[in-house]
Structure 1
Amino acid sequence: ELSSMNSLDACISAVSCRASCTFRWRRDTRLDGPWLLRGETSGRPPPNVVFVKTHKTGSSTLQNILFRLGERHNLTVAFPRYTYQFAYPQPFAAAFVEPLPPGAARYNLLLSHLRLAAGELRQVMPPDSLYLTILRDPVRTFQSVFAYYRSTVPAFRALANHPRPLAAFLQAPARYYDPADAGNGLARNPMAFDLGLEAGGEEGGSQWDRELEQLNQTFQLVLIAEHFDESLLLARELLGLRLEELAYVWLNARRGGGDEALAPGLARQIQAWNWLDVQLYRYFQAVLWRRVELYGYTRMKGELEALRLLLRETRETCLAGEAVGPEETADELRPWQPDTAAILGYNLRPGLPPAQHTSCYRLVLPELQYHARLYYRQYGREMCALPCD
């Protein structure tokens, strides 16, 4: 298993080598017209895609790429009946989906937060749909989940105002955690919970080997956040995308999240508490590197160089600077803010020509705004923040 952030180079050397608010969208002529930076789309229709969006794993960045794919090809998106999630944390059910819009024969994309129930998804999406998800190092994932949801997840709420809340929780997690409370789904093994596993129990038993293999049969690709670019190139081949369609910036990142240092022993405590997420991550990290081997290390290295050049050019073209806090972000580009963390956003370079402004705007558009925009485009009405039928 390759665990280094530079795993591909090492491998080459070794081988030869929630929101409840509603955003209101007005029709805006600036957003019409061509919007790929290089102005071209792929030559064949994209496949139907289910993206199981896991929490705090970099999933918003991939979702944005898929939102842009859907808008570019005028695909039909399976939206939740209200708000931005499919009745999370309940397991997904077909009844949670907004009916098809007039004239649509089937859904092409399903991209919003849900808790995986594969049988129910198959009732909604075409049988040839590709299933994708993304995982992240369990230590970083749990650290981010705790910071983001500290005031909303019941197991964390009692420590919301503690001076060292994560350390206090990990000292005695069972004191705060009630596995019977569905609101605690993210409080232990959050990635496994999102993927439909019974993630609150104790370690042991061979059932988890079977569960992991079942997930491997469900998903055509599980991306790994620490190797996002390699994962993205594998997704590109699977989806038939052009390199230009992979342009991205990191979305929904937390201020200071990349710079946090864990106290000695805290990472081990997180791994022990989230033992199933550790197994899940290691299993699919190994699967990813087997896929890279089949893809070809030399080919992957060359395409990584091309992708990273594209990313540098895109950011230089589009962005006024690095990601900034909510107090510095333009209103329409400001991500939703939890009350326990500051979420970064981007400002666009002033004076962009119209076509570039259009493509750059979509590149940095936060999840909830993009979700609401596509919903309005598809149904001709605003989303409901609460049940409205």
Structure 2
Amino acid sequence: MKSPGCASRHFRCHIIFSLCLGLIFLSGFFHVKNKNYLIVKSHKELLMSSTPCRAKTNVMFLKTHKTASSTVLNIMFRFAERYNLTVALPAGQLVHLGYPKTFLAHFVEGFQTIGQHYNIMCNHLRFNLSEVQKVMAVNTFYFSILRNPIPLLESSYVYYKDNVPAFRISKDVNEYLTSPTKYYRSADYKQNIYARNIMWFDFGYDNNAEDNKEYTQEVLKEIEQNFHLILIADYFDESMILLKHALCWDLDDVIYFKLNSRSQDTVQTLTPESEERIKEWCSLDWKLYLHFNQSFWRRIEETIGLEELEKEVNHLRMRQKELMETCLSDQEAVMKDHIKNKALLPFQSGAANILGYNLKQALDNRTLRTCQKMVMPELQYTSHLYAVQHPHRRRKRLGLPVLQTKLQGKMQLPTPNSGT
């Protein structure tokens, strides 16, 4: 028979043992619950990170001058054809959307009947948001591209040498920049828009406006509000990767062959003094470029990261190289006199020798269509899309005899007679 003391100790031990079991059970319960919670949370995060974004198909590209924008336009046109989208094309025989006039909705072919149901807008225009919004959907993605004003002005000088009074009466670009006001007359500003702050003008602002801090800051802020993305032509491949991410497009959607580029022998070398004078003479463009060059790299760091960007740029270049080997007989752009199919001859302007491409022979039909569209100059492509979208309208006649080329069966492509 156990003593009362032993029984009492046994009872206390039992209570303590039971409490320990309870604590272990509760601890296990909360641990399992917390573990399950973490699994659920982790699963949700995984779903959020892996959920594919939806490709944007309502896109407005403000095509600025001498900024590799013809290459971007070709990308936009090919995307529109690939997904059967409607492009806001210049009305009638126009090749631009009213440029250099400020854009109005009726400059678009079919606006009166189609209304706000265009998917893509990318031909040259002088930006006017309220009128663009009459044409494009509410959820349209707006973007544009800028270039360092120093090489841009040199490029403009050579390309528009015969058309711009300020350029025409000066010997070369360095002479022009020695004293721009000697050649640039305010009374001829409509003819001289390419000679000063051309990007500022394309965005819809006065390219001869006084450069003061309050005004420029107001304009930069307004552009930031109107545009979702500004690319930089000096970093074109990086720009294409950023565009791909912003629009949720595939890599092949932004693959390109460089278009409307000129031969190196037509490039005029700027003196260091001329480069500094461009910063002053085109100070509005200079501030525009500096501002959005900073925001461009900040956007990359926030959305892609430099390490991932480098990987994707390398992938883009590898894919581009593959396509050049597939499509091109010369593996590179050639001088205008060496372009065999004159229907694919780019428009030639000023003192520039605009390069083009020769395609390989005996390509299968599908490959041929892909390759031809990648090398098709801007005016020919605009004319082609116009004929496809508006078959009952008189085809755009660009001035020279129509030549035959094989595209989507047999398609007539006119060679151009007006600049871009």
Q: CA deviation at 1:101?
A: 9.1
Letter in 1 for 2:308: R
Mapped to 1, the partners of 2:205 and 2:54 lie a distance apart of 36
Q: Any idea what SS the aligned residue of 1:107 has?
A: coil
Mapped to 2, the partners of 1:144 and 1:202 lie a distance apart of 24
Matched residue, 1:366: 377
Letter in 2 for 1:223: L
Residues 83 and 384 of structure 1 are in contact (CA less than 8 Å); yes or no, is this contact kept in structure 2?
no
Mapped to 1, the partners of 2:109 and 2:186 lie a distance apart of 30
Residues 138 and 278 of structure 1 are in contact (CA less than 8 Å); yes or no, is this contact kept in structure 2?
yes
Matched residue, 1:58: 68
Q: Any idea what SS the aligned residue of 1:50 has?
A: strand
Mapped to 1, the partners of 2:349 and 2:173 lie a distance apart of 17
Matched residue, 1:109: 120
> Which of these residues, 272, 277, 281, is aligned with residue 280 of structure 2?
272
* 1:168 matched to 2:175: yes
Matched residue, 2:418: none
* 1:69 matched to 2:79: yes
Letter in 1 for 2:289: Y
Mapped to 1, the partners of 2:259 and 2:249 lie a distance apart of 21
Q: CA deviation at 1:109?
A: 0.8
Higher relative contact order (CA 8 A, sep 6+): 1
Q: Any idea what SS the aligned residue of 1:272 has?
A: helix
* 1:287 matched to 2:295: yes
Q: CA deviation at 1:157?
A: 2.3
Matched residue, 2:130: 119
Larger radius of gyration: 2
Work out the percentage of aligned pairs sharing the same amino acid. 38
Q: CA deviation at 1:55?
A: 0.5
Matched residue, 2:243: 235
Q: CA deviation at 1:202?
A: 3.5
Pick closer, same or farther for the CA change 1:379–1:340 going to 2, 3 Å. Answer: same
Kindly report which structure 2 residues correspond to 1:71-110, keeping only aligned pairs within 5 A, or say none: 71-81=81-91, 82-100=93-111, 106-110=117-121
Mapped to 2, the partners of 1:303 and 1:215 lie a distance apart of 28
Residues 101 and 379 of structure 1 are in contact (CA less than 8 Å); yes or no, is this contact kept in structure 2?
no
Mapped to 2, the partners of 1:238 and 1:47 lie a distance apart of 12
Letter in 2 for 1:134: I
Q: CA deviation at 1:174?
A: 1.0
Matched residue, 1:151: 162
* 1:211 matched to 2:224: no
Matched residue, 2:194: 186
Matched residue, 1:13: none
5+ residue gaps in structure 1?
1-41
Runs of 4+ aligned residues of structure 1 deviating over 6 Å after TM superposition are 101-105
Q: Any idea what SS the aligned residue of 1:223 has?
A: strand
Matched residue, 2:208: 200
Letter in 1 for 2:118: Y
Q: CA deviation at 1:45?
A: 5.8
Letter in 1 for 2:73: Q
Pick closer, same or farther for the CA change 1:351–1:286 going to 2, 3 Å. Answer: same
5+ residue gaps in structure 2?
1-51, 400-420
* 1:256 matched to 2:269: no
Matched residue, 1:300: 309
Q: CA deviation at 1:53?
A: 0.4
Aligned residue pairs, count:
341
Mapped to 1, the partners of 2:152 and 2:364 lie a distance apart of 38
Q: CA deviation at 1:148?
A: 0.5
Residues 48 and 130 of structure 1 are in contact (CA less than 8 Å); yes or no, is this contact kept in structure 2?
yes
Q: Any idea what SS the aligned residue of 1:323 has?
A: coil
Pick closer, same or farther for the CA change 1:103–1:51 going to 2, 3 Å. Answer: closer
